[in-house]
Amino acid sequence: MSISDAERLKALVSRRVPPLGGFNLTFLYLEMRRLVRNRRTVILTLVMPIALFFLFRSSRRLGGANTAELTASTMIGIGVYGAMLAATAGGALVSVERALGWSRQLRLTPLRPVAYIAIKLLNAMLLGLVSVALVYAAGVIDGVHMSTQTWVLTGVLAWAAALVFASFGLFIGYLMPSENVMQVIGPVLAVFALVGGLFIPIRLLPTTIQDVAPYMPPYGVAQIARFPLVGGSFDVTWILSLVLWTAAFSAGAMYLFRRDTRRT
Amino acid sequence: MWVYVCGRTMNQAIAPPALDVVRLEGVHRSFGAVRAVDGIDLRVELGEIAALLGPNGAGKTTTIDMILGLGKPDRGTVRVLGMKPDAAVGRGLVSAVMQTGGLLKDLTVGETVRLTATLFADSRPAGEVLERAGIANIADRLVGKCSGGQQQRLRFALALLPDPALMVLDEPTAGMDVEGRRDFWTAIRRDADLGRTILFATHYLEEADAYADRIILLRQGRIVADGTAAEIRNMSTGRSVRATLPGAEPATLRGLPGVLSVELRGDRVIIQTTDSDSVARNLLTNTPARDLEIVAHNLEDAFLALTGDGAATPVEGAKEA
C-alpha cells in the first residue's frame, strides 16, 4: 500500500455521518411535492371531502331545528374525515415505496429508518391539515357561522384525527406491500366515518349502528372536535377512544416497522 | 469520566486506516436449511475491480447484502474499511447499484438525484453525477418513463453521490440489451480508472472476464476459485484428451496419470486430466485409440468445471452414453 493510499484511507474513514439521521427539510419538501403531484391522492384526500360536505349538508333537512349548527357539525365531521383520509394516504405511501423497493434503496443511504418515518408522519399530518382547511373553506363558502374561537378550536381538534390515522396509514402500509393500498382501505375508512357519525349525526342513524358507533376509530376524535360547537357534557370515553386507537395503531405500525427494518 | 476515557482509547485503537476495503472472515448465513453462504473469507483491497461470479444460488447476493449491511451473518465478521457495514453506509463510504426496483416512478431523474443527495453529510453535486452517468440530458424525465438502461444509469448516478470508496453492483446489467450493457460498463470502467474499488456480482462469464481484474468464483456458498481470469482458466482441470476407443474400460482409464474424469460417448472417450501428455502417450502406445485430440480449456470450461453439479467430487465416474 502506497503512502497516498494510506492518506486516502485515512480521509475516507474520518468522514461524517449526517445529523438527525438524515432528516432534512429539502427531503420533506420533495416528498410533499410528490404527494401533491399524485392526482389520485389529491382527489381522494382533498377534493372528495369537499364534495361530501356539499352532499351531506342536505341532511340538515332531516335534522329539523337548529339547521345552522347541524351544517357546522357536518362540516367538522367531514373535516375529521378529510384529515383521516389524508393522513392514512400519507402514511400508507410506505407500502408503495416498499413495493417499489425504494425503502431498500434508502437503506443504502445514511437515512435512519426513524428519520424516514418522521418524514412520512409529518407529510401525512401536513396533508391532513390542508384537507381540514379546504373543508373549512367550503364551510365558509356555504355560510357556516361560528365564533372565531370555535372555528380555530374545532379545526385544530379535527386535525387531531390525522394523528390517529397517520399511524393507521403506516400500519396498513407495512401490512400490505402493494401499490394500490388506498383502494383497499378507502372503503374501510368510509365505513368507519359513516358508522362513527362523521357524515350524518349519530342520533339520526339506526339504533344498531348507534350502539356500534362509539367503537369506531374516528368516533372519539369527532366528538371532541365538535364539543366546542355543541357544548353540553364532555364524555371522558371520547378521550379514551382517541388514546386507545392511536396507541393500538402506533403499536401495530411500530411492530411492523421494526420487523421490516431489522437487519436480520 | 472513566468510561469516556476508555471510549476514547478504544476509538483511537480503531482509527488507523484498515488495509482492506472489504474483509469477510468465516462468514456463514443460512435461510432455514439452505446454507446460502457457507464459510467465506475474502479481502478486497483499495482500487481493485473484483467480480463475484457464480451460478444462481451460489450466494452472490447474500454475500453482497451482508457487505451492504442489509443482512447480518449468522457467524463470522464483515467489515468495510474496518467498520461495520451500516457505519460505512452512514458515512457514504459504500454505495450500491442493485439489480431492479428501488426507484420512485413519480419523481424525475433530476429530483431523484437531488432528493438522495440531501441524505448524505457530504455529496457530489447532482449535475456532476448525472453527467458522469451519462443521463444529464434526461434529468427532467419521469423515472417511470425511462428505459431499463436509463434507470440503471440513474442508480449508478445515485451510487456516485457520496463519492464512495467502494461501489457494489449486483447483477447490474441483467435484462439490458448489448448496447445498454456496453454503455453501462464504459461508465463504470471510466469511474474505476479514477481509483474506486468495485465489487460486482454477475453470472455473465464474459462480463467478469472483460471488466474484472480479479474473479472470485462462488459455488454453493463457498469460494471455489479466486484469481485473475487467466489464473482461473489455468485452474480449470488441465486439459481434455479425446479419442476414439471402442470397448474402452473407464475403470482402467481412470488409473492413468492425473485423470480427473472419464466420459464415454459411444466409441468416443473424453478424459479430463492434469497430465495430458502422459494420458495421450499411454492411449497411443497401450491401446488401439485413434483420432486423438488434446483440447485446452477456456474460461467457460473452468467455470462449469468449478461450479457445476459434479464439481464437489473432482474424480467422477464414467457416464455411460
Query: Residue A126 has which C-alpha cell?
Result: 401536513
Q: Which is more confidently placed, B76 or A36?
A: B76
Q: Tell whether the model's pLDDT for residue B11 goes beyond 60.
A: no
Could you tell me which chain B residue has the CA closest to the CA of A10? B17
What is the secondary structure of B229-286 as a DSSP string?
HHHHHHHTTSEEEEEE-TT--HHHHHTSTTEEEEEEETTEEEEEES-HHHHHHHHHHH
Residue-range domain boundaries for chain A: 20-261
As to burial, measured by CB atoms within 10 angstroms (0-12 exposed, 13-18 middle, 19+ buried), residue B161 is buried
CB contact under 8 A, A97 and B104: yes
Alpha helices in B133-265 (DSSP H): 148-160, 178-192, 205-211, 229-235, 250-254
Residue B181, domain member (yes or no): yes
pLDDT for res A64: 56
The minimal CB distance from B118 to the residues A10, A13, A24 is found for A24
Q: Which residues in chain A touch residue B70, judged by CB atoms under 8 angstroms apart?
A: 104, 107-108, 263
Q: Are residues B38 and B166 in the same domain?
A: yes
Q: Which of A5, A7, A12, A34 to mutate to test the interface with B (most CBs of B within 10 A)?
A: A12
The answer, for A262 touching chain B at a CB cutoff of 8 Å, is no
Final residue of a structural domain among B233, B258, B291: B233
Q: Are residues B225 and B243 in the same domain?
A: no
What amino acid is encoded at B252 in this protein?
T
pLDDT for res A61: 57
Count of other CB atoms within 10 angstroms of residue A152: 13
Residue B1, domain member (yes or no): no
Q: Are residues B175 and B246 in the same domain?
A: no
Residues 6+ apart with CB under 8 A from B298: B233
Final residue of a structural domain among B218, B233, B248: B233
pLDDT digits (tens, 9 = 90+) for B256-280: 888 888 888 888 998 888 888 888 9
| pLDDT level of residue A78 (50, 70, 90 thresholds) | very high
pLDDT for res B309: 57
Secondary structure (3-state) at B28: strand
pLDDT for res B15: 45
- Total domains in the fold of chain B: 2
| CATH number assigned to the domain comprising residue B268 | 3.30.70
Residue B3, domain member (yes or no): no
CB contact under 8 A, B46 and A1: yes
- B118 CA to chain A: closest CA distance, Å? 7
Q: Are residues B91 and B220 in the same domain?
A: yes
ipTM of the complex as predicted: 0.78
| pLDDT level of residue A240 (50, 70, 90 thresholds) | very high
pLDDT for res B13: 45
Q: In this predicted structure, which of B37-46, B51-60, B155-164, B234-243 has the lowest mean pLDDT?
A: B234-243
Q: Are residues B269 and B283 in the same domain?
A: yes
Question: What is the spatial distance between Cα A217 and Cα A237, in angstroms, rounded to a whole number?
Answer: 12
Q: Tell whether the model's pLDDT for residue A59 goes beyond 70.
A: no
**Residue of A196, A173, A195 whose CA lies nearest to A184:** A173
| CATH number assigned to the domain comprising residue B168 | 3.40.50.300
The minimal CB distance from B106 to the residues A10, A22, A34 is found for A34
Mean pLDDT of B128-133: 92
Could you tell me which chain A residue has the CA closest to the CA of B144? A100
Q: Are residues B267 and B314 in the same domain?
A: yes
Mean pLDDT of B186-203: 87
The answer, for A3 touching chain B at a CB cutoff of 8 Å, is no
* CA B232 to chain centroid: 13
Q: Tell whether the model's pLDDT for residue B192 goes beyond 50.
A: yes
Residue B310, domain member (yes or no): yes
- B94 CA to chain A: closest CA distance, Å? 8
Residue B93, domain member (yes or no): yes
Q: Tell whether the model's pLDDT for residue B50 goes beyond 60.
A: yes
- A217 CA to chain B: closest CA distance, Å? 32
Interface of chain B toward chain A, CB-CB under 8 angstroms: 15, 17-19, 45-47, 68-72, 81-83, 86, 89-93, 95-96, 98, 100-107, 111, 114-116, 118-122, 158, 162, 165, 195
The mean of the pLDDT values for chain A is 85
Residue B8, domain member (yes or no): no
**Residue of A193, A189, A224, A221 whose CA lies nearest to A209:** A193
Q: Are residues B241 and B223 in the same domain?
A: no
Q: Are residues B200 and B254 in the same domain?
A: no
Q: Tell whether the model's pLDDT for residue B133 goes beyond 50.
A: yes
Q: Are residues B215 and B314 in the same domain?
A: no
- The model carries a pTM of 0.76
Residue B297: which domain range? 237-319
The answer, for A4 touching chain B at a CB cutoff of 8 Å, is no
Residue B76, domain member (yes or no): yes
Q: Tell whether the model's pLDDT for residue B314 goes beyond 70.
A: no
Q: Which residues in chain A touch residue B19, judged by CB atoms under 8 angstroms apart?
A: 1
Final residue of a structural domain among B192, B211, B233: B233
Q: Answer yes or no: are the C-beta atoms of A222 and A76 closer than 8 Å.
A: yes
CB contact under 8 A, B17 and A9: yes
| pLDDT level of residue B158 (50, 70, 90 thresholds) | very high
The answer, for A106 touching chain B at a CB cutoff of 8 Å, is yes
- B207 CA to chain A: closest CA distance, Å? 24
